[in-house]
A and B are shown apart, each in its own frame.
Chain A
Amino acid sequence: MNAKAIVVTSGKGGVGKTTATANIGAALAKLGEKVCVIDTDVGLRNLDVVMGLEGRVVFDLIDVFEGRCKLRQAVIRDKRVDSLYLLAASQTKDKSSLSEHRMKETVRQLLEEEGFDRVVIDSPAGIETGFQTAAAAATGALVVVNPEVSSVRDADRIIGLLESREIGEVRLIVNRLRPAMVRRGDMLEVDDVLEILGVKLIGIVPEDEQILISTNVGNPASLNSSSNKTSASQAFRNIARRIKGEEVAYLVFDERRGFMAGLRKLFGGF
């Protein structure tokens, strides 16, 4: 993706925006980019705890917007990986000082004056002020969708809003895919989601309990190199590489084992 400012959004809550932001941000930093992840969910901030940086927040986005601190003071460096930084949302202050203009200015400063290669903006759920602010500075978007009815419907709405903002690079992340359910015909396939939403794919992330375990301890899974080649953390690392323009093959999930699976394979693999 050419976009240096990328908003991560979904419409619906709880589909994995914050986890995706933390993991993709961390993976991009590991690939050598200087990355700032920004939480724009004022009042319900969580990117700090997902990344395990909650103890180090002093100033936040609203402090920057209202001029109580310099941008450089509010940006927290992640000590585990060089070149990864967090700008936290405010947990207490109200949303009245959210402004598209200030957001654009903040992102411009990060990219043009502070030497960041990429800014990844975690949007709140919904389509109101918080989302609008998050999208204002973005030139690209990652739409996170789960393969279920309400998430797909909300994603469609969000894609429409992103297009009306003329955000050119809109890419889809299908998150929490359950390969076994897809094989049974009880979950949408990735191709179904793409056909319905009509946007380009950039990642398929399987449901993976390792993600919950790593957020429990505040350590983005993509920071650790896992041996499991079909893990969610691997999927997030692949997304980071695709953002950087690399062609990376999509993971293949085949958990079919045992006698029946062997039989099916024998008879042409249906």
Chain B
Amino acid sequence: MFGLFRRKKSRDALKQRLKLVLSYDRAKLTPGKMEELKGELLGVIAKYFPSDAEDYDVRFEQQGDRMVLVANLPIKNQRA
């Protein structure tokens, strides 16, 4: 009930920032290179499917001991 009035905790912000920066550190990749990778990836996908460039997400994810590159690229619905 007191939680309603609580400001956003700096702990949560730090945790998120650390997870992100460590994913780049561990993959030995800079955020700039990641943007490049996203762009190229999107270019390749666009050759095969019409996709929505606004609505995609490429990021690292820690899965247990492994670091995984996760790409989420929605394809435009073409039933029409």
Q: Which chain A residues have a beta carbon within 8 Å of chain B's beta carbons?
A: 148-149, 152-153, 156-157, 160, 182, 184-189, 192, 196, 198, 264, 267, 270
Instruction: Determine the interface band of chain B, counting residues with CB < 8 A from chain A.
Output: 10 to 19
Residue pair A156, B22 in contact (C-beta under 8 Å): yes
Residue pair A192, B11 in contact (C-beta under 8 Å): yes
Contacts of A267 in B (CB 8 A): 1
Residue pair B21, A153 in contact (C-beta under 8 Å): yes
Residue pair B11, A185 in contact (C-beta under 8 Å): yes
Query: With A and B bound together, what is the CA distance between A198 and B26 in angstroms?
Result: 13
Query: With A and B bound together, what is the CA distance between A188 and B16 in angstroms?
Result: 11
Given A156-B22, A196-B22, the answer on whether A188 and B14 have CB atoms closer than 8 Å is yes
Contacts of A186 in B (CB 8 A): 9-11
A148's nearest neighbour on chain B, judged by CB, is B14
Query: With A and B bound together, what is the CA distance between A152 and B11 in angstroms?
Result: 13
Number of A-B contacts (CB under 8 A): 40
Ordered by A's residue number, 15 sampled pairs between the chains whose C-beta atoms are within 8 Å are A148-B14, A149-B14, A152-B18, A153-B22, A153-B25, A156-B22, A182-B11, A184-B9, A185-B11, A185-B12, A186-B11, A188-B14, A192-B15, A196-B15, A267-B1
Give the interface SS of chain A, mostly helix, strand, loop or mixed: helix
Query: With A and B bound together, what is the CA distance between A171 and B12 in angstroms?
Result: 24
Contacts of A189 in B (CB 8 A): 11
Nearest first, the 10 A-B pairs at minimum CB distance are A185-B9, A186-B10, A185-B11, A156-B22, A192-B15, A196-B18, A152-B18, A188-B11, A149-B14, A186-B11
Residue pair B25, A157 in contact (C-beta under 8 Å): yes
Query: With A and B bound together, what is the CA distance between A50 and B39 in angstroms?
Result: 54
> Any chain A CB within 8 A of the CB of B59?
no
Contacts of A160 in B (CB 8 A): 26
B6's nearest neighbour on chain A, judged by CB, is A185
> Any chain A CB within 8 A of the CB of B3?
yes
Shortest CB-to-CB span from A177 to chain B, Å, is 12
